[in-house]
Amino acid sequence: MKPLFSAVALTLFPEMFPGPLGCSLAGRALKEGLWSLETMNIRDFATDRHKTVDDSPYGGGAGMVMKPDVLDAAIEAAKTRLPEAKIIYPSPRGIPLANSLVEQLKSMNLIIVCGRFEGVDERIVEHHDMLEVSLGDFVLSGGEIAALAMLDAIVRLLPGVIGNTEATHEESFAETPEFSGLLEYPHYTRPPIWKGRPVPDVLLSGNHEQIRAWRLLQAERVTAARRPELIKKEIRK
């Protein structure tokens, strides 16, 4: 069976993969062949005896920069595995990893270049038309954790990974007509009263129309309180 989605991670730390992606639903789907993941060690493509992958930046400054010639050799090798893959570079200056982007990426195969140090030579980004993607307004030690997060977000949307696909229809950022762009409403389970805190009566009513209206109202309230820009975004559409 051909995988629904495939990725190659280029990294200096291949032991970080599959990491959490080898567990739970993603791990089971990986074992069943619904998706595939290969790692390639960037250092294997260095040509000097010290296996050098970085050098000091032109113009001065702190830190080191990953070398374009080494990265290019690694990327070209990865392209022989996934010829039509989109090349992704996790970077703090990239576009946000929004759910809409995840929906697009799940239909592509990916080569993910995990940077380290101060990042990679800009020429390699330009030459391979990399898509720079950011997890948020913070900096990580390298691209591996960002790659794992990105892959997890993609894999869970593949057919057959989550048993009940309706579970994704009303979650945060889902692009469904009623809950479009909203954060997810709160959830409750047994016992009905815990430490003096009862489950909202409407959820015990069995009235599905009232429950849905309550959930939509709660989703709107939590979004307005925590991410008001999402509400404004919906209004602008």
Structure tokens at 13: 């730390």
Question: pTM (2 decimals)?
Answer: 0.91
Per residue in 115-153, pLDDT (tens digit) is 999 999 999 999 999 999 999 999 999 999 999 999 999
CA 80, 83, 85, 88 torsion: positive or negative? Answer: positive
Dist CA 74 CA 81 (whole Å): 11
Question: Domain limits of the chain?
Answer: 5-155, 169-236
For the domain made up of 5-155, give the CATH fold: Alpha/beta knot (3.40.1280)
Q: How do residues 59-105 score in pLDDT, each as one tens digit?
A: 999 999 999 999 999 999 999 999 999 999 999 999 999 999 999 99
Q: Calculate the CA 142 to chain-centre distance.
A: 15
Fold of 169-236: Trp Operon Repressor; Chain A (1.10.1270)
Residue-wise over 95-116: b if at least 16 C-beta within 10 A, else e? Answer: eebeeebbeebbebbbbbbbbb
Reduced DSSP (H G I as helix, E B as strand, rest coil) percent helix, strand, coil of the chain, to 5: 40, 20, 40
Distance CA 53, CA 105 (A): 28
User: At a CB cut-off of 8 Å and minimum separation 6, what does 140 contact?
Assistant: 90, 92, 146
The rounded distance, in Å, linking the Cα atoms of 216 and 184 is 9
